[in-house]
């Protein structure tokens, strides 16, 4: 699946979280293009997570942010 927008990249992340069983209390926070990848921040439960999605729709990396979560 080719990813052409922040919305499509966010959908890739949402589907990943659903497969991992983390689909409750997931809210998009921020999306931007950086270094040829989509950087997507999502509030997942009480954590903020950052995902990098490439143009082919693959999650390249993800990590938990060190800041408290906040509503989008």
Collapsed DSSP state (helix, strand, coil) of residue 25: coil
Look at residue 13 and tell me if it is in a domain.
yes
Closest of 17, 12, 19 to residue 47, by C-alpha: 17
Q: What is the CA radius of gyration of the chain?
A: 11
Query: pTM value?
Result: 0.82
Look at residue 40 and tell me if it is in a domain.
yes
**Higher pLDDT among residues 22 and 54, named by residue:** 54
Look at residue 60 and tell me if it is in a domain.
yes
**What is d(CA 24, CA 5) in angstroms, rounded to the nearest whole number?**
24
**What is d(CA 36, CA 60) in angstroms, rounded to the nearest whole number?**
12
Q: What is the pLDDT of residues 6-17, one digit of tens each?
A: 999 999 999 999
Look at residue 58 and tell me if it is in a domain.
yes
Number of domains in the chain: 1
User: Which residues are bridge partners to 32 per DSSP?
Assistant: 39
Look at residue 1 and tell me if it is in a domain.
no
Instruction: Please give the pLDDT value at position 2.
Output: 84
51: domain range? 6-64
Look at residue 70 and tell me if it is in a domain.
no
Residue 28 has pLDDT above 60, yes or no: yes
Instruction: Please give the pLDDT value at position 39.
Output: 95
| Percent over 90 (pLDDT), the chain | 60
């Amino acid at each position: 699946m080719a990813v052409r927008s922040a919305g499509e990249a966010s959908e890739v992340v949402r589907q990943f979280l659903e497969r991992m069983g983390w689909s409750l209390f997931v809210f998009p926070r921020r999306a931007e293009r950086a270094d040829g990848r989509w950087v997507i921040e999502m509030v997942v439960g009480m954590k903020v997570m950052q995902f990098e999605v490439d143009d082919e729709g693959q999650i390249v990396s993800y990590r938990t942010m060190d800041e408290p979560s906040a509503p989008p």
